[in-house]
Structure 1
Amino acid sequence: MKLYVKFDINTLCRKVLDQQLKEHGLRYRLLSFGEVELYESLNQDQHRIFQNKLADYGIEVIENQKIALVQKIKAAIVQLVFSDEIIPVKASVYLSEKLDHSYGYLSNLFSEIACTSIENFIILQKIEYTKELIVRGKQNLTEIARKLNYSSVAHLSSQFKNTTGLTPSQFQKIMSKRRRLESAANHKIS
């Protein structure tokens, strides 16, 4: 049996941070995504232990503010793309308003630190979400294209093929075949 889950990375990270900060007896305040204000300083040993504990959950303490801002850009993009509701503004406007910086600054910083453009990162996230929606099988490509603010199914299909090497239809057939094979294997086991 397969179980498909949807999770909110922001909520998950906040809960892990909250739990770890309390376990270490630290007085703190959770600020915006990826920011914690500690009310007292940590010595080197405490800092190292805390970093290692967070690393067990895939959370990294970032010392550089530019890297932290790039992480916020990525989180905002994931939130934008994976949102259940259609956000009716351009990504550039959304990011500028959400992060309180000009899009030009965000774009240059992102390219410098992440070695790719914001636009390319958005495309990659849209394709990942498209794959997820295809696997779920509840929406057709027209609905998926509309949900992800593509001008047409052809535009979505073109970006999907450029990114994955497959058309959405080919991907759909592969996933259907995989499900049938898994189902057949599960029936043989039972």
Structure 2
Amino acid sequence: MKMYVKFDFNALCKKVLDEKLKEQGLRYRLLNFGEVEFYESFTKEQHNVFKKNLEEYGIEIIESQKIALVQKIKDAIAELVFSDETVSVKASIYIAERLNHSYGYLSNLFSEVTFTSIENFIILQKIEHAKGLIIGNKQSLTEIADKLNYSSVAHLSTQFKNTTGITPSQFHKIVAKRRKAQSLSLNF
């Protein structure tokens, strides 16, 4: 038997962070996603224990301000792309307003740290979301293109193929074949 699960990574990370902070008895408050304000200082040993506990979950403490800002850019992009509502504002405006910096500065910083552009990162996130929506099998390609702010299904298909090597329709057929094969194997 197979079950499909949808993750809310923000909620999951926040819960892990909250639990690990409480385990150490630290006084804190969670700010925006990925930000913690401490009400008291803590020892280097407490810092190292906390860091090790988070690493078990694939969460790391960001030591550099530049890397922290790049992570905020990624988080803002994820919020924009994976939002349940269709957001019609341009990504550049959304990111600049969300982080209170000029888009030019954020774009240059992102490229410097990640060796890719914000635009490429957005495309990758949109395609990952499109794959999840196709697997969910609840929306047509037209609805998916609309939800992800593509001007047309053709535009979505072109970016999907450029990123994955196959079209969304081919991806959908592969998913359908796998489901059929799995259901057949469960019947035996």
Is the pair's TM-score, using the shorter chain for normalization, greater than 0.5?
Answer: yes
TM-score normalised to structure 1 length: 0.95
Q: Following the alignment from structure 2 to structure 1, what is the Cα–Cα distance between the partners of residues 73 and 187?
A: 45
Give the CA deviation at 1:137.
1.1
**Structure 2: where are the runs of 5+ without partners?**
none
Identify the residue that residue 124 of structure 2 maps to in structure 1: 124
Q: Quick check: 140-149 or 8-17, which moved more?
A: 8-17
Identify the residue that residue 163 of structure 1 maps to in structure 2: 163
Identify the residue that residue 33 of structure 2 maps to in structure 1: 33
Q: Following the alignment from structure 1 to structure 2, what is the Cα–Cα distance between the partners of residues 9 and 99?
A: 20
TM-score normalised to structure 2 length: 0.96
Q: Following the alignment from structure 1 to structure 2, what is the Cα–Cα distance between the partners of residues 43 and 15?
A: 23
Alignment coverage as a number of residue pairs: 188
Give the CA deviation at 1:6.
2.2
Give the CA deviation at 1:43.
1.8
Kindly, what percent of the aligned residue pairs are identical?
70
- Is residue 5 from structure 1 mapped to residue 5 from structure 2 by the alignment? yes
Identify the residue that residue 46 of structure 2 maps to in structure 1: 46
* Cα deviation digits, residues 74-118 of structure 1 (max 9, x gap): 111111111110112000011011111111111111111111100
Give the CA deviation at 1:7.
2.6
**Counterpart secondary structure, 2:37:** strand
Q: Following the alignment from structure 1 to structure 2, what is the Cα–Cα distance between the partners of residues 73 and 6?
A: 23
**Counterpart secondary structure, 1:177:** helix
Give the CA deviation at 1:40.
2.0
Give the CA deviation at 1:175.
0.8
**Counterpart secondary structure, 2:29:** strand
The 5-angstrom pairing of residues 62-81 of structure 1 reads 62-81=62-81
Runs of 4+ in 1 over 3 A off after TM superposition: none
CA RMSD of aligned residues (A): 1.0
Give the counterpart letter for 1:51 in structure 2. K
Give the CA deviation at 1:41.
2.0
Identify the residue that residue 19 of structure 2 maps to in structure 1: 19
**Counterpart secondary structure, 1:162:** helix
**Counterpart secondary structure, 2:16:** helix
